[in-house]
Structure 1
Amino acid sequence: MIEMKDVWKAYPNNVKAINGINFQVDKGEFVYIVGPSGAGKSTFIKLIYREEKPSKGEIFVDNTNIAKIKERHVPFLRRRIGVVFQDFRLLQQLNVYENIAYALEVIEEERDVIKRKVMDVLDIVQLKNKARAFPSELSGGEQQRVAIARAIVNQPEVLIADEPTGNLDPETAWEIMDVLDEINHRGTTILMATHNKDIVNTIKKRVIAIESGRIVRDEVRGNYGYET
């Protein structure tokens, strides 16, 4: 499903962010990406959805080497990979329905299909009653649910969550994990970068730990392994 082969990433200032990573994620897995700040987690994730290109190596998503695809093909790749950020990144001038529908409008989906898909994902994240609300009228947890709905409305094979609970209180963070777990049970592969020790240690999943741009630990049902 996702595979990195001898992947390196160096930035123009000669900072080496990723140093010879090899790993594979199978379809339907849920994987935590952990490690200290500055370890290379963000770069690792950005490489998977082609926000960054590797300096060396191959990255496969469903047998496509995304390190070599042309820039004009990147938007098509991102229809297959949903991304959720820590800061939600919702369009403030659009309501909940419109924020989610926008992801379908840009690919010129038909209006009746848009309505059906938007309402389906609002049902998954339990926000049908907030469809006409604006982001400023929502709590942080509700905004993150909208961001998740937007990320999965194209029915991506992979969902990447970059610190999705980082700006949320503990109770709300657990609610977001329930949503992500439900999406995973529906068949979506999930990679989640996190510093949330309690979540990783309680909801047992595969754990990949990155330090100094290298994978130092890869455990099935692993622990967080760092002090917070």
Structure 2
Amino acid sequence: MIEMMNVSKKYPNGITAVNNISIQINDGEFIYVVGPSGAGKSTFIKMMYREEKATTGRIIVGKFDLMKIKERNVPYLRRHVGVVFQDFKLLPRLTVFENIAYAMEVIGAKPKEINKRVNEVLDLVGLKHRMRMFPNELSGGEQQRVAIARAIVNTPEVLIADEPTGNLDPDTSLEIMHILEKINQRGTTVVMATHNSSIVNQMKHRVVAIENGRIVRDQQEGDYGYED
């Protein structure tokens, strides 16, 4: 479960990106985070994996208190929270298999376990036939599928997706969404920041709208609610 209580984030330049937000996200939910550019969406989700630290309030993610967690323990949090970015962030000199395996190697997993689990997630995202290729040999959609596989290879309880379809065409975006839904159906909580109105309106989930750093709408099976 993710819980934020009276959370605010003020940057050193004086800008308040998140202003007194309180929200509860239950295990296994799928949440869209929507709102205009500059509304505070990115800060909101970055606080969930401690890329940004809140200025005030309380944030609980599973067993972790993110206001009290020591910096040396943030990597342990990241084992429980996978992150997918708009620009993939793959390592260019590693193959598809190696990019995904790296996420397990850094936590000390054994080679036999790595091989088994990487093959499982490659199967899930439909890329077993591409495992020996390098990122520059893949399409954008394939690169994003590798990024998703890497984010879930350590079986996190939460998957944070920051504009995961932002650089993709509509058909590829739908393919990515079907993978995210499949992951969610297996029990992983998914929190996805997006500007993709057609996906939000077509593939219904809870919608949390943020404007000027505040939650202005929290709606089950909601619509996007903004003009493109």
1:197 aligned partner: 197
- The letter of the residue matching 2:10 is A
1:221 paired residue number = 221
Secondary structure in structure 2 of the residue aligned to 1:79: helix
How many residues get paired?
Answer: 228
Q: CA deviation at 1:64?
A: 2.3
Q: Write the letter of the residue equivalent to 1:129.
A: H
Deviation, 1:67, is 1.5
Structure-2 separation of matches of 1:66 and 1:121: 28
Residue 118 of structure 1 aligns with which residue?
A: 118
CA RMSD of aligned residues (A): 0.5
**Over 4 Å off, 4+ runs:** none
* Cα distance in 1 between the residues matched to 2:88 and 2:156: 18
Residues 54-87 of structure 1: CA deviation (Å, up to 9, x unaligned): 1000000114211210000000000000000000
2:206 match: 206
Q: Which amino acid in 1 is paired with 2:81?
A: I
Q: What amino acid maps onto 1:13 in structure 2?
A: N
Match of 2:35 in 1: 35
Quote the residue 2:6 is aligned against: 6
**Identity within the alignment, %:** 65
- CA-to-partner distance for each residue in 1:188-221, whole Å, 9 max, x for gaps? 0000000000000000000000000000000000
TM-score (norm: length of structure 1): 0.99
Question: TM-score, with normalisation over the residues of structure 2?
Answer: 0.99
What is the rounded CA distance, in whole Å, between the counterparts of 2:103 and 2:62 in structure 1? Answer: 22
Post-superposition Cα deviations, 1:75-134, rounded to whole Å, max 9, x if no partner, equal 000000000000000000000000000000111110000000100000000000000000
Find the aligned partners of 2:206 and 2:61 in 1 and give their Cα distance.
19
Structure 1 residue aligned with 2:46: 46
Q: Equivalents in 1 of 2:110, 2:202: separation in Å?
A: 42
* Structure 2 counterpart of 1:118, one-letter code: V
The equivalent residue for 2:96 is 96
Q: Provide the rounded CA distance (Å) in 1 between the counterparts of 2:128 and 2:62.
A: 32
Q: Using the alignment, how far apart are the partners of 2:147 and 2:62 within structure 1?
A: 24
In the alignment, the residues of structure 1 paired with residue 83 and residue 62 of structure 2 have an alpha-carbon distance, to the nearest angstrom, of 17
Unaligned 5+ runs, structure 2: none
Measure the CA separation in 2 of the matches of 1:92 and 1:63: 34
Q: State the Cα distance separating 1:138 from its structure 2 match.
A: 0.3
